[in-house]
Amino acid sequence: MNKDLIAIFEYLEREKGIKRELVIHAIEESLQAAARKSVSGASNATVKIHAKTGNIDVFCEKEIVEEVEVGSQEISLEDAQVMDPDCEIGQFIDVIVTPKDFGRIAAQKARQILTQKLRSAERDVIYEGYRHRVNEIVSGTVKRFVRGSNLIVDLGKVEAIMPTREYPKTEKYFVGDKVLALLMEVRESENGGAEVILSRSSPEFVRQLLAQEVPELNDGTIIVDKIVREAGYRTKLTVRSTDIKVDPVGACVGMRGNRVKNIVRELHNEKIDIIPSASELIELLQNILSPIEIRKININEEDNSLSIVVDDDDFAAVIGKKGMNARLISKLIGKHLEVQRLTDYHRTMAILREEWASTDDASLDQPLESIEGLSLIIDHLVAEGYDTIRSLLIATPEKLASIPGADKVLEQIRKQRT
């Protein structure tokens, strides 16, 4: 019995999930060429491996003849009948011609081919077992590190890789640690095999964690419209409900926040903002920033940007640490977000008003009534003594702040002049 070969069969079956028949076929094919070279004149030699014993036999098909002239291709009737008493002249019979040192020589010659075959077989097993599990959450154990801090994770029958870019910088791992991750991709590797790629940085990882905690996501009652993330620090996601009786944010947060707490714990205390979806951009932005009040808003379609003005005390919260919150909001609304403090806005507008008022533009001396759509506010301004556009432009910021609606008129003037 070839114990070494049997051990290989059992290891590949148990650890790699590769069937013994597939391995045997790969070895037989790889030894075929070596057998034909080892047995002189045996151009039709074949190799057979016994699945239970691991013994290797080389067979050569020979023609049964009365008188042998070419020994490598012919056999006498007398010798053939020892193996098969019913054989006759003119028939062909398989004769064992295994050389004494064939096992050693053949193994050396076949090693490269065998490795390629097994790698291909293992790749097929990986593809078959894992390609339909893309975007599922899997668990494994950190086995080792490669090429710096790339993790090799043992999933059982397969070793997966989690590249450094696919897990947050805030997370540290050691060999033996348990890890939960998203099965992001199954792809061919550089050496012709297959790799299972894991991720903990993908926004999809948060979506799948949420699906484990919120059954309403699986039955379609709640839909996650969009997720944006800076892994390890903050995630923002918008949700909506297909049932008016179900609060999408409340369902995701759970009783006393238990559902979202479980996700935050798995993400090592990463902050998660769950926001009601809205079809209108401004409404969505208000939902994202709630309870912060947006003082001014301007959408520029040409450069796909959106500018807002907020109270000075709210500015830091909107921007976030190192601009993170503003970046995530930009991704969520699909526009570049610019944020300005209210005092800075007032200062900028005061400078603009001074510049406009200092010009000789005769239109600035027209009555305020020339501005359409704001008649009630304009009547109040006229009563306060501001009867022309220029008189309003030269008013002090403090005075303008005390007049209800003055900012709307100034905004209308700004739009007309820009």
Query: Residue 288 and residue 274: Cα distance in Å, rounded?
Result: 9
**Single-letter amino acid, residue 297:** I
What are the residue ranges spanned by the domains of the chain? 3-128, 134-201, 202-275, 278-341, 359-417
3-128 CATH, one of 3.90.700.10, 3.60.15.10, 3.30.70.100, 3.30.1480.10: 3.30.1480.10
Answer yes or no: same fold for 134-201 and 278-341.
no
Per-residue model confidence (pLDDT) at position 9: 74
The string of pLDDT tens digits covering residues 47-94 is 888 888 877 888 888 888 888 888 778 888 888 888 888 888 888 888
**Are the CB atoms for 183 and 43 separated by under 8 Å?**
no
- Segment 36-53, tens digit of pLDDT: 776 666 667 788 888 888
Pairing of strands 336-341, 305-310: parallel
Residue type present at position 360: D
Peptide bond into 291 cis (omega under 30): yes
Query: Rounded to 5 degrees, what are φ and ψ at 67?
Result: -130, 120
Architecture of the domain made up of 202-275: 2-Layer Sandwich (3.30)
- pLDDT value at residue 192: 62
Res. 204 pLDDT band, cuts 50 70 90: very high
Could you tell me which of 174, 146, 151, 178 has the C-alpha nearest to residue 162? 151
Identity of the highest mean pLDDT range in 53-62, 330-339, 372-381, 405-414: 330-339
How far from the centroid of its chain's Cα atoms is residue 229's Cα? Answer: 12
Indicate the pTM of the whole model.
0.68
What pLDDT band is residue 390 in, cutting at 50, 70 and 90? confident
How much is the pLDDT for 82? 87
Q: What is the pLDDT of residue 262?
A: 94
Assign 180 a pLDDT band (cuts: 50, 70, 90): very high
Q: How far apart are CA 217 and CA 265, in angstroms?
A: 20
Q: How far is CA 294 from CA 22, 313, 407, in A?
A: 67, 12, 14
Per-residue pLDDT, averaged over 296-323, amounts to 92
pLDDT tier at 102 (50, 70, 90 boundaries)? low
- Segment 303-326 shows an average pLDDT of 94
Output the average pLDDT for the chain. 84
Note whether 151 and 175 are within 8 A (CB): no
- At residue 118 the predicted structure's pLDDT band, cuts being 50, 70 and 90, is low
Q: What is the pLDDT of residue 235?
A: 97
Cβ density class 271-292: b for 16+ within 10 Å, e for less? ebbbbbbbeeeeebbbebbeeb
For residue 128, pLDDT over 80 is answered with no
Q: What is the pLDDT of residues 7-45, one digit of tens each?
A: 777 777 777 677 778 777 877 777 777 777 766 666 677
280 falls in which pLDDT band (50, 70, 90)?
very high
Helix, coil or strand: residue 418: coil
Query: Quick one: what percent of the chain has pLDDT higher than 70?
Result: 85
The CATH number assigned to the domain with range 278-341 reads: 3.30.300.20
pLDDT of residue 385: 72
CATH domain 134-201 topology:
OB fold (Dihydrolipoamide Acetyltransferase, E2P) (2.40.50)
pLDDT of residue 42: 61
User: Where does the pLDDT of residue 150 fall: very low under 50, low under 70, confident under 90, or very high at 90 and above?
Assistant: very high
Provide φ and ψ at 187, rounded to 5°: -140, 165
Contacts of 231 (CB under 8 A, 6+ apart): 167, 168, 200, 201, 270
